[in-house]
Amino acid sequence: MVDPVDRLAETVRTEGARILATLVRTAGSLPVAEDAVQDAIVSALREWPRSGIPSEPRAWLTVVARRKAIDALRREATRGAKERDSADLRNLATADLPSDAAVRDDQLRLIFTCCHPALATEAQMALALRTLCGLSTAQIAAVLLLTESAMAKRLTRTRQKIVAARIPYRIPAPAELPTRLTAVCGVIHALYTTGHAPITGAAVVDVDVCAEAIRLGRLVVELLPDEPQPAAVLALLLLTDARRRARADDAGDVVLLSDQDRSLWDRQQIVEGYALLDSSLRRSRGIADPYQLQAAIAAEHARSPSYAETDWREIVRLYDLMLGVAPSGAVELNRAVAVAEAAGADAGLAALTNIAPSPRWHAVRGELLARQGRYAEAVEATTAALTGELTAPERRYRQRRLADWAARA
């Protein structure tokens, strides 16, 4: 028999965002809707173990959450805090569940509200994790490296801004859609990056933020299947995530792309990533966007049977295109690495000369110098890399390299 609490957790996970999305529209307020859904979950925790799992868990939660929202709005009205359109209450009181098409639009509204460019990027990420992924404040705090109370304050401030500044609960007009979708894709990508490459410290987060980002990416692709950008960002995430099991060894230490056991790469994710990238490229006109290019680079790696057989010239070409549409220090650095693989360490070192130094820049330089047998210089460069912020496994890796080269210098 299914445990009622497990079933509740599963329903909240898979249906929570849909229930919330519809309730925000009918209640006309994100904070009221969020509280109502929370209250409904608490009620379910009490009721389900006693009276059994309802036959339609989502419907049960929706109806109870609606009732809680009505109560909250009535209380607000008696306090005189706000004049409430009686139509809102009538809307809420209707018993029937919304159609799938209505739920789809509600989910899109919620996504575009959470990822509104008038909110700070971190606030968008936090709100997306809270309302779209259903993570707790404590979990979000752990992911975004903040204390729980600081996170709670930030979420409250974000909700207040949505209400006070009247950020609309609306799907953007077609003319605005591309820019607004870029913001949504940016949040999804930032969430994945947060889970994939914590800047410092050991991996302590108990939440799989990467999986949450992919889930969100899938949702947006499902809701807007004809838009090229969400498909590209999901392709990028899948092609990157496919390598996840090969990225670290049993001790949790970094395994570089060149040393990864490619049989550990997730073929299913790769195949899905290819298909999404293809459909994204087919649907877009003109120059490729940064997500398409990054996905194309990841696809190029996935295609190659080994590091040595990689088509580095093609990868350099893709990085050149990247520099055209979205120049950044990280892209320049990755391009220099690809140049070194395509044309040798000399060419790679030459490509580095015009780039501003960073811990990673020193690390790359150290690798290239060692490749030329210039071990003393390699040691110096890698020592410089270690003064900056690195994850604990990356730091251990660099220290091993350092010891190796110091012995040869």
Residues contacting 201, CB < 8 A, separation 6+: 391, 392
With H, G, I as helix, E, B as strand and everything else as coil, classify residue 248. strand
Site string for another protein, 110-149 (x = CB under 8 A): ------x-x-------------------------------
Structure tokens at 253: 């230490």
β-sheet bridge partners, residue 201: 391
With both helix axes pointing from N to C terminus, report the angle between 228-241 and 290-303 in degrees, rounded to the nearest 10. 40
Minimum distance, C-beta of residue 84 to another protein, in the bound complex (Å): 11
Closer residue to another protein (CB): 158 or 240: 158
Write down the least CB distance from residue 65 to another protein, Å. 25
User: Residue 130 Cβ, how far from another protein at the closest point, in Å?
Assistant: 20
Smallest distance from the beta carbon of 82 to another protein, in angstroms?
Answer: 7
Binding mask 152-181 for another protein (x = CB under 8 A): ------------xxxxx-x-x---------
Of positions 74, 75, 82, 408, contacts another protein by CB under 8 A: 82
State in angstroms the smallest separation of the CB of 181 from another protein. 15
The answer to whether 331 and 319 have CB atoms below 8 angstroms apart is yes
Between CA 126 and CA 229 the distance in angstroms is 22
Residue 183: Cβ within 10 Å count = 19
Q: DSSP secondary structure string, 253-314? A: -B--GGG--GGGS-HHHHHHHHHHHHHHHHH--SSPPHHHHHHHHHHHHHH-SSSTT--HHH
Least distance (Å) between residue 160 CB and another protein: 11
Residue 161 CB, shortest distance to another protein, in Å, is 9
Compare residues 13 and 82 and give the one whose CB is closer to another protein: 82
DSSP character for 46?
H
Q: Which DSSP category does 54 fall into?
A: -
Q: Which of 83, 96, 226, 309 binds another protein (CB under 8 A)?
A: 83
Contact segment (CB under 8 A) with another protein among 2-10, 80-88, 126-134, 375-383 equals: 80-88
The residues pairing with 248 across neighbouring beta strands, listed in sequence order, are 254
Size of the site for another protein (CB under 8 A): 13
Candidate list 1, 46, 50, 80; residue touching another protein; CB under 8 A: 80
Contact residues for another protein (CB under 8 A)? 80-83, 116, 118, 164-168, 170, 172
